[in-house]
Structure 1
């Protein structure tokens, strides 16, 4: 009996000594620490509720819809009530004008549109603008309300940049089909409103032009628009006249600033 106990004690001592040697040699890794409370909480958080899963799915669907809408080309659809409401809600600022010129790589070409000048010449407005090889300010209106906003822009631009070779083109779009019946009367009225010196570059278009509207963001029929086009026929800047009709000094200064930048770019391009 004593011998058995002695053997057992010897085994225990030997095993303890062996364990100490292995531990000191790094061969026995320490037991892993118990998982912290935070890990348990994260594990619980991973099991989201059905309501949270539904919210996540709806958010993902919204993102998909936004991406799909970005790929859809926006097209003008006439809606006079909505356009008039937009004019009132925004005070005429239906589009916020940028502070700088659009990059050449992102600038869209000026679109095509068949027009007739106040001198009776038929033309493609795209060729009038791009074919001139000059910086051009294109002023567009659809109704008298917008037409009355444009002279301040036309006169200030001509005074400042006429000698520099820039030109101003004025476009009057009359979309109502029945207006074609009195086309001559409307043309005479436009001739009376515009200075005779501007008649050759003042144009009228009778009829719908949805594609032209879409290309230039002409989504509101009640205001006036100004587009600055470079010598290669690319639209580099856009402005929308205010409902008040009078161009503010800040508005005109912005136009002058971006036009000077565009003229400088054109000059550098010719020197290369």
Structure 2
């Protein structure tokens, strides 16, 4: 009896420590830290650059293996090679809504362009969400326009390594990345974009298309 009690206590203690880390560890995207940042400055730490960074200084887009809403296995950056792509990443519905402010003007400018793509990546990294992928995808099917299902990716699993490479500081906001034809992240922004950032995104895409 005492043996089992000790084991249960250790498991309970481990769970409590994990929960505390989830809410307070900024390096792991702590929810409370992210929330404070959102309240302080709407999650916007800085504005994006006016032009894409040089190819030499750009980081490669990390591997993201997911399933589209049309049930196709998709791996980034493999699908991005040969194209200029806007990759919109979100962990929460709030972030997804923020990303609409990038998606809509971008689609208006480049819809139908043979060399330009848009991908939405919705990340579900918490264990409770990983065990209900079917319910999540059915819910998204109702929210996302059918024409966008092929390019809407659901990712289930740990995202810590990708988060480190992409230097994502806040999981509550949306993140936008312009990726060139070789899979390099050349421009980035986060949270709700300013008018200047939207213009910079369109301009930067034009520059990257010219490199093709």
Structure 1 or 2: more helix by fraction? 1
Which consecutive segments of 4 or more residues in structure 1 shift more than 3 A? none
Aligned to 2:165: 215
CA contact (8 A) 1:137 1:168 kept: yes
By how many angstroms is 1:186 displaced? 0.9
The alignment's C-alpha RMSD in Å is 1.7
Aligned to 1:258: 204
By how many angstroms is 1:248 displaced? 4.3
Report SS of the residue matched to 2:123.
strand
1:48-67 correspondence runs (5 A): none
Aligned to 1:178: 128
Gaps of 5+ in 1: 1-74, 267-272
Quick one: distance in 1 between partners of 2:154 and 2:87? 13
Report SS of the residue matched to 1:116.
strand
Larger Rg: 1
**TM-score, normalising length: structure 2:** 0.81
Alignment equivalent of 2:69, drawn from 112, 118, 132? 118
Structure 1 or 2: more strand by fraction? 2
Alignment equivalent of 1:190, drawn from 140, 148, 152? 140
Aligned to 1:67: none
By how many angstroms is 1:76 displaced? 4.4
Deviations 1:9-53 (A, max 9, x none): xxxxxxxxxxxxxxxxxxxxxxxxxxxxxxxxxxxxxxxxxxxxx
Deviations 1:170-219 (A, max 9, x none): 00001110112321111112222221111111101112210101111222
Deviations 1:220-241 (A, max 9, x none): 1100010000111111000112
Q: More relative contact order in 1 or in 2 (CA 8 Å, sep 6+)?
A: 2
- The total of aligned residue pairs comes to 186
